[in-house]
Structure 1
Amino acid sequence: MQKIAVLDDDEHWCHTIKRFFRNDFEVTTFQDVQTFLDSPIESYDLIIVDFTITPSHRYEQEKTGIEIINQLRIRLKKPPKLVLTSAFISKNDSGIAANISNIADQILPKDLGLDQILQSIKNLLRVEHPS
């Protein structure tokens, strides 16, 4: 089973993704950047990163999802598929998503709906791992 990591400070969103994806993927969720960065990032097939992540510890600096994705691309020789999600980018904001589309493998607005997000992720991983 393919493995997905979700980095998002919204506990409800993490729980929802984990439950909704559980039949298709092994999902690990993280709510703070440092715990995520200390995890075995190379073991994931895909990572979903929220656009805005609030620091959870005093020593953490605030980072955007874009900064985290850029850091992963620099740090890892072969990074997993990287998906940026946001509640601030709507499915109707195609211009905004197009402007930042070179950052991540895919930009997925959270209001797209879980069915469509799941299908988009399946499609993205299918390209990487054809059946």
Structure 2
Amino acid sequence: MHRIAVLDDDENWCFTIQRFFRKYYQVSVFADVEIFLGQVDRFDLAIVDFSLPRAVFEPKTNGSEIIRNIKSKLKNPPILVLASGFISTRDQQAGYEICPEADSFLAKDAGLDNILQHIHFLLAEKKPSSFVLQD
């Protein structure tokens, strides 16, 4: 079973993802960036929220910077997906502008079925595939 990490401060969204995905994946949720970074190499895919509270990590750190950090430090990082309310399901360019290093992008409001389908696709490909969910 594939292992997925979710780094997000929104407990409700994390709980929903964890419950919805549990039939297909082992999902671990993180609110603490340092703990997440210490364990991220154990996962096949990681969903990183773009907007994290500044007090959680460093004053100017966001999901894009966390993804850059992981890519620069790990030889074989998991598939890294940036999740955000700022990314539209129809605007792929916005994801690239926010974080060109991300392997893929998720609009948080894309719907659970679409998000699950997207994750299935990424893991089936077993390689980074940069695209945004389409409705």
TM-score (norm 2): 0.85
Give the C-alpha shift of residue 128 in structure 1: 0.8
**SS of the residue 2:122 aligns to:** helix
* Residue identity in the other structure for 1:89: I
Of 94, 97, 100, which aligns to 1:96?
94
- 1:53 and 2:71 equivalent? no
Give the C-alpha shift of residue 95 in structure 1: 3.2
Of 65, 70, 92, which aligns to 1:67?
65
Structure 1 vs Structure 2: percent identity of aligned residues? 48
Aligned twin of 1:9:
9
Question: Is the CA contact (8 Å cut-off) linking 1:6 and 1:14 kept in structure 2?
Answer: yes
Give the C-alpha shift of residue 76 in structure 1: 0.5
**CA RMSD of superposed structures (Å):** 1.7
Question: Is the CA contact (8 Å cut-off) linking 1:20 and 1:114 kept in structure 2?
Answer: yes
Give the C-alpha shift of residue 36 in structure 1: 1.1
Give the C-alpha shift of residue 73 in structure 1: 0.3
Q: Distance in 2 between matches of 1:115 and 1:76?
A: 31
Q: How many residues align?
A: 126
**For 1:20-54, what per-residue CA distance to the aligned partner results, in whole angstroms no more than 9, with x for missing partners?**
1000000000012122123x221100000001111
Q: Distance in 2 between matches of 1:44 and 1:119?
A: 18
**SS of the residue 1:5 aligns to:** strand
Cα gap change, 1:33 to 1:101, in 2 (>3 Å): closer
**SS of the residue 2:115 aligns to:** helix
Gapped regions of structure 1 (runs ≥ 5): none
Give the C-alpha shift of residue 101 in structure 1: 6.0
Aligned twin of 1:111:
109
